[in-house]
Structure 1
Amino acid sequence: MNIEQLVAIDTHVHAEVSCCQPPDLFAKEFDDAADKYFGTVLKQGRRPTIPETIEHYRERRIGFVMFTVDCEANIGRRRIANEEIADFAQQNADIMIAFASIDPHKGKLGVREARRLIEEHGVRGFKFHPTMQGFFANDRLAYPLYEVIAEYGLPAVFHSGHSGMGSGMRGGGGLRLKYSEPIYLDDVAADFPDMKIVIAHPSWPWQEQALSIATHKPNVYIDLSGWSPKYFSPELVKYANTLLRERVLFASDFPLIRPDRWLADFDTLDIKPEVRPLILKENATRLLGLRTS
């Protein structure tokens, strides 16, 4: 990436439509519920493909991190292949970085996949969604995956707080919010002190937990995805401006929230002028190990 040419780096972008396999419409009701919850604007009546997403970000000169969510064991829905996302990232390295998602329930096979994706496909980090994957972040079944991630010095992103997925569905679609309470990441941060951990989203209703963990554990970051900045709590804004100014990240949750909307609302937020470039680009540059010329 030519960091100087980018206006920002979005650290939380979803791959939603595969170019290599037909869509798996099983459990489509989760997508419909999420679109209703977020008020998602769908062009052509569907979510964007990976190439369409790349073009969207290149037009805006915004670098981005993309991943899917592997919840095959808990939801039963076929994931988009990590290799597909990684291949697109290698072909569009000026704008895109690939993270992988592996369900911790896949055990040793998942560990083998993680190592292969890093060594053969250039994956630069991993995404976990405890609510969708049905596990507590400090469950020892996930530790072999964390060990591989830590071995290669890569970051891991964890969904936290309320989930738009399942919201409004009967019984919440069977999803349990308890899995995404941030406090379980405190164990992970302590047990893997050299692994960078990103707590994704303002972690409502546990925002203070996330702020406490990030303040206490220097390997913990917070990304600001999934919410319009105009809804950020005063406490989150205060810490972003002060103690956590170097560990808070611009992140949209595209396509559920698009970067244009997020950035427009961020412009109205009471963030110090010297902190804005940290949140929008510089913190991500350090987290991702990107080099500036």
Structure 2
Amino acid sequence: MPLDPATVDAIDVHVHVEQDGHGCLALDQELLDASAKYFKADQDRTPTIDAIAEHYRARRIAAVVFTVDAPSGTGHPPLSSEEIADAAAAHADILIPFGSVDPHTGKAAVARARRLVTEHGVRGFKFHPSLQAFEPNDTRFYPLYEAIAELGVPALFHTGQTGIGAGLPGGRGIKLRYSNPMLLDDVAADHPDLTVVLAHPSVPWQDEAISIATHKSNVYIDLSGWSPKYFPPQLVRAANTMLRRKVLFGSDYPVITPDRWLADFETLEMKPEVRPMILKDNAVRMLGLG
């Protein structure tokens, strides 16, 4: 049965699948350990699709699930977005699958993106420019964005600091500048029919992210990857006012649980009418569910 937004209390737009049904992991152990240390995550770091569905169904929260396809950037074999989408289909009442493709594969990435939507039912795409080692505004990748826009689904991009590689020598070669949201201002301007989601508080470029989302009607911000009690104050102000229809609940599960995120969100001074927008209503509109 497909997801009925009326049956859930919230939609978490940022949930990672980091283990597949074969026991393969999305990252090598060193990167997983560094990320867990950065986030002080002591819960299960690699839940499967079935475990994620059980976790979210028990909480009446829908979840957008994805992996990051980054072999060109990491040298690590990726999880299959096709398998993730097919597994999520068994939990269509609660899971919304996004796909991921390696932008460096060029025409193959475009063709695969089309198949993921038309044959596997994915509802959007996840990119991590730092992990995938690409500048998102490089016009070499524009055919991929054009295809995603034609397919009518959003593209969600990691922005700002990343816990992946944090604390390791050279950050394991992962470059933060690829995740400056100003690079995505070019993408949003050049592809006005593409819905772009700037994932996470974009520290150290928070003001840039707010400016882009204010200026471009096709740009949203998700609030994943940080406990709300640590949100930059200008982000809280913007979410309460001019961006109240552009900000989305996201946890970054499994490194941050929805329970922890929602508990801390309750402590924020948010207007009562804004809370349901952030928790569900804006995501319903962004995902085309209503």
Q: Normalized against structure 2, the TM-score is what? A: 0.97
Q: Which residue of 2 aligns with 1:149?
A: 148
Q: What is the Cα-based RMSD across aligned positions, in Å?
A: 1.1
- Whole-angstrom CA distance in 2 between matches of 1:24 and 1:66: 15
Q: Closer, same or farther in 2 for the Cα pair 1:108/1:280, shift >3 Å?
A: same
Q: Closer, same or farther in 2 for the Cα pair 1:116/1:169, shift >3 Å?
A: same
Q: Secondary structure at the match of 1:4?
A: helix
- Assess if the C-alpha contact under 8 Å between 1:160 and 1:180 holds in 2: yes
Q: Closer, same or farther in 2 for the Cα pair 1:54/1:216, shift >3 Å?
A: same
Q: Shift of residue 42 of structure 1?
A: 2.8
1:15 equivalent in alignment to 2:25 = no
- Whole-angstrom CA distance in 2 between matches of 1:5 and 1:265: 23
- Assess if the C-alpha contact under 8 Å between 1:16 and 1:50 holds in 2: no
- Whole-angstrom CA distance in 1 between matches of 2:240 and 2:26: 43
- Deviations along 1:175-208, one digit per CA (max 9) or x if unpaired, are 1001001100010000111111000000000000
Identity of aligned residues (%): 59
Q: Shift of residue 26 of structure 1?
A: 7.0
Q: Secondary structure at the match of 1:121?
A: coil
Equivalences for residues 208-223 of structure 1 within 5 A? 208-223=207-222
Q: Which residue of 1 aligns with 2:265?
A: 266
Q: Which residue of 1 aligns with 2:32?
A: 31
Gaps of 5+ in 1: none
1:288 equivalent in alignment to 2:278 = no
Q: Closer, same or farther in 2 for the Cα pair 1:92/1:38, shift >3 Å?
A: same
Letter in 2 for 1:129: H
- Whole-angstrom CA distance in 2 between matches of 1:69 and 1:63: 20
Equivalences for residues 184-203 of structure 1 within 5 A? 184-203=183-202
- Whole-angstrom CA distance in 1 between matches of 2:279 and 2:42: 24
- Whole-angstrom CA distance in 1 between matches of 2:35 and 2:77: 18
Q: Secondary structure at the match of 2:106?
A: helix
- Whole-angstrom CA distance in 1 between matches of 2:90 and 2:181: 35
Q: Shift of residue 153 of structure 1?
A: 1.3
- Deviations along 1:6-50, one digit per CA (max 9) or x if unpaired, are 11000000001100x34259732111000000011234xx52111
Q: Closer, same or farther in 2 for the Cα pair 1:84/1:271, shift >3 Å?
A: same
Letter in 1 for 2:5: I
Equivalences for residues 85-100 of structure 1 within 5 A? 85-100=84-99
- Whole-angstrom CA distance in 2 between matches of 1:25 and 1:197: 24
- Whole-angstrom CA distance in 1 between matches of 2:95 and 2:46: 18
Q: Secondary structure at the match of 2:63?
A: strand
Equivalences for residues 107-256 of structure 1 within 5 A? 107-256=106-255
Q: Secondary structure at the match of 2:58?
A: helix
- Whole-angstrom CA distance in 2 between matches of 1:140 and 1:36: 36
Count of residue pairs the alignment pairs up: 288
Letter in 1 for 2:57: R
Q: Shift of residue 141 of structure 1?
A: 2.2
Gaps of 5+ in 2: none
- Whole-angstrom CA distance in 1 between matches of 2:162 and 2:56: 25
